[in-house]
Amino acid sequence: MSSTFFIKKKENPKFAQKGKNTAPLKRKGDGDSGAKSKVRAKKPNPRHNEEISSDSETESPVVPRKRQSKEEPDYDETPQEKKLRLAKRYLEQLKAQEEDKAEDDNFETDLIAGRLQEEVLEQKGKLQRLIAKDIMPPDASEIRVLRGHKLPITCLVISSDDKYIYSAAKDCSIIKWDVATGKKLHTIPGGRKGTDNRHVGHTAHILCMAISSDGKYLATGDVNRLIMIWEAETLKHLYKFTGHKGPVSGLSFRKGTHDLYSASHDRSVKVWNVDENAYVETLFGHQDAITGLDSLSRELCVTAGGRDRSVRVWKIAEESQLVFHGHEGSIDCIQLINEEHMITGADDGSVSLWSVNKKRPLSTVKKAHGCHGDAGLEQPHWVSSVAALHNSDTVASGAFGCSHNSHVQLWKCGQYYRGLEPLFSVPVAGFVNSLKFSNSGLFLVAGVGQEHRLGRWWRLKEAKNAIYIIPLKRKLPDPEEVQIPE
């Protein structure tokens, strides 16, 4: 005989629902047979609870079980296992970051190594960037002309950041120009002769000027033997240097310093310390008026000796000089290309390339700007100015002539500076008294006037006293080439 046990149903809070619906769960096997079996609570299936009735306000919806992410384990982690997993992930991230950093470091190392190599070559005077082949002739409409001086422009310089041009003229004035807009930012007017004591500025023709590589100081020299130092930013007058016994014809700041070199028609070169407002020393050697001077970062300068037909390299620390000869006429202009090479121009119409280690020119182009005059009596145009794009194979020269044939000529230097090849010319009207490349090499500036900067042998009435800004566009560049001499 089978026995039937009756179990008193107690409300289990674990399985009971909140509110008025507290009916017990149905047992498995309950049916018409009336057989009773062991009580087992059936787990709710989320798939059968997706719809929630709005009839019962007190029932709380059954939330589907959240899917496990791929990153989360399928089992419950202990705190120690979770820490270990996160630590491994963190180490993997660090490893990836270090690999990326190593690639960047290698790139930066190569870049720095390349720059250091260029600096070493630059100091040795052996750096020659080959960019002349990529420069294209500008359209006439692209050349900007700035007018502001009343008399011929004699000299100009460009700030190292290429933002400003400073120019001076025979009207004794100084103008600071904004390159981007072409507007005048500051002007120091020239004074009348005999007003030196009460006029702040020059009262005689300004022949030369220089700007320090950090853009702090501007220096100008005039026919009255005076050198004036200005604050380049505001053109505020700072100092006045005296000592030369003839017109000051050349000025240059040693690169990276405030040491100033000056040259004069008195045939001397003087050294000044602008920071201390002090004179340092005087060097002698030329046999005629010095017409041009230049320097870079080494403690030396180079000069053009005018009608003594010599080029001299002055080693300041050693108090010695090297004398070079090559031109047949008066050497009127000189410019360093790098620490060991330079370019000169003369009134015999020739342009020459030099090395500081050789007493004769490496290359000379005669009649570089053509000739003028009747057949049989032709005379070459004077080369009145030269310029060099530092540490490159690109140089320029300027001459004078009638309005239809005066021009600026660009040249490509041959390998190791052993030749000059004409690139293209830019016509201008008048005497090209000063030429300067921008530091970036994106433009060339020419100071043009109706007269030569050192005299009044001719006057071209049709010429303009103006500044020409000549853009130097380049072809789509190949990787920059650097020529390293053996």
Report which secondary-structure segment, H or E, holds 364. Answer: strand 363-365
Amino acid identity, position 155: C
By the 8 A CB rule, do 345 and 397 touch? yes
pLDDT at position 483: 53
Q: With H, G, I as helix, E, B as strand and everything else as coil, classify residue 27.
A: coil
pLDDT at position 479: 52
pLDDT at position 383: 92
Mean pLDDT of residues grouped by 10 in the chain (486 residues)? 43 43 43 42 45 42 46 64 84 82 65 66 73 93 95 96 97 96 95 84 95 97 96 96 96 97 97 96 95 95 94 93 93 95 94 94 93 74 93 92 73 92 92 95 95 80 92 74 52
Residue 156's contacts (CB-CB under 8 Å, 6 or more residues apart) are 165, 166, 167, 168, 209, 434, 436, 445, 447, 467
Between the CA of residue 430 and those of 391, 427, 447, 486, what are the distances in Å?
29, 10, 10, 42
Question: The tokens of 406 are what?
Answer: 């005066």
Cα 250 from Cα 259, distance rounded (Å): 14
Query: Would you kindly state where each structural domain of the chain is located, as residue ranges?
Result: 130-483
pTM, rounded to two decimals? 0.74
pLDDT at position 18: 43
pLDDT at position 195: 84
Highest CATH level, class, for 130-483: mainly beta
**Three-state SS across 36-54?**
CCCCCCCCCCHHHHCCCCC
Q: With H, G, I as helix, E, B as strand and everything else as coil, classify residue 263.
A: strand
